[in-house]
């Protein structure tokens, strides 16, 4: 086998594959540079809309800085940001919690008295259908007006209709709400 044949046999495939990967990466980087700022802006707009929906009385929101974020006892759920209503009507907190299919992002609204005004799941990777039943507004409405929860595990919570067969997602959400309430207590209410 000559040197030229060797190159054709073993060198060429490598060169072509590397070249194709390089061009693809270049195109991806180019697309990302255009789409990324728009995606971030969209996410910010949606987050503000969600905060407004959970705390309709608020006129605007400011991020609360310099606080320590609460996590659940098994570290599966944690508060990732806290926004305070500009007119002191309450807080909206974002929590990330481990659910069946991976991270689940949710928002919890709390009024000035520490009562929950709403819970909303904003991002998840759970199986559509039974796994997302815990994200229905009707289900999440059970949290409204609660000021405290009895247990971190949704199954141990008294007087609560959790979804049988989807208790992983239900517990994940429950832990998120629990962490949000703990966070509220930690920052000492809406004063």
Partner 1 sequence: MEEKKRLSILTNGIIKENPVLVLVIGTCPTLATSGSVETGFGMGLAATAVLICSNIVISALHNIIPDKVRIPCFITVIAGFVTIVQMVLQAFVPSLYSALGLYLPLIVVNCIILGRAEMFASKNGVLDSALDGIGMGIGFTLTLVIMGTLREVFGNGTWLAGDWFGLAKGFKGIPIFSNFIPGMSIMTMVPGGFFVYAIVMASVHYLTKDKSKIRNDFGCDGCANAGACADGDCAAQKQ
Residues lying near partner 1 in the complex (CB under 8 A) are found at 12-14, 16-17, 20-21, 24, 27-28, 31-32, 34-36, 38-39, 42, 46, 125, 128-129
Nearer to partner 1 (CB atom), residue 60 or residue 165: 165
CB of 134 to partner 1, least distance (A): 17
CB of 174 to partner 1, least distance (A): 23
CB of 31 to partner 1, least distance (A): 5
Nearer to partner 1 (CB atom), residue 34 or residue 75: 34
Nearer to partner 1 (CB atom), residue 14 or residue 144: 14
CB of 79 to partner 1, least distance (A): 23
Residue with tokens 């509220």: 184
Nearer to partner 1 (CB atom), residue 29 or residue 75: 29
**What is the Cα–Cα distance from 93 to 158, expressed in whole angstroms?**
24
CB of 122 to partner 1, least distance (A): 10
Nearer to partner 1 (CB atom), residue 31 or residue 147: 31
């Amino acid at each position: 086998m000559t040197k030229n044949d060797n190159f054709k046999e073993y060198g060429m495939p490598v060169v072509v594959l590397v070249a194709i990967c390089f061009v693809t990466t270049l195109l991806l980087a180019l697309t990302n540079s255009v789409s990324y700022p728009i995606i971030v802006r969209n996410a910010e707009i949606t987050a503000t809309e969600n905060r407004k929906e959970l705390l309709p009385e608020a006129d605007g929101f400011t991020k609360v800085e310099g606080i320590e974020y609460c996590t659940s006892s098994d570290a599966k759920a944690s508060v990732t940001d806290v926004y305070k209503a500009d007119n002191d009507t309450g807080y909206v907190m974002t929590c990330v919690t481990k659910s069946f299919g991976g991270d689940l992002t949710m928002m919890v609204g709390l009024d000035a008295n520490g009562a929950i005004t709403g819970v909303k799941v904003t991002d998840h990777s759970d199986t559509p259908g039974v796994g997302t039943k815990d994200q229905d507004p009707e289900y999440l409405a059970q949290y409204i007006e609660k000021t405290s929860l009895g247990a971190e595990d949704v199954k141990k919570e008294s007087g609560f209709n959790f979804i049988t067969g989807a208790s992983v997602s239900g517990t994940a959400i429950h832990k998120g709400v629990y962490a949000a309430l703990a966070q509220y207590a930690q920052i000492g209410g809406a004063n």
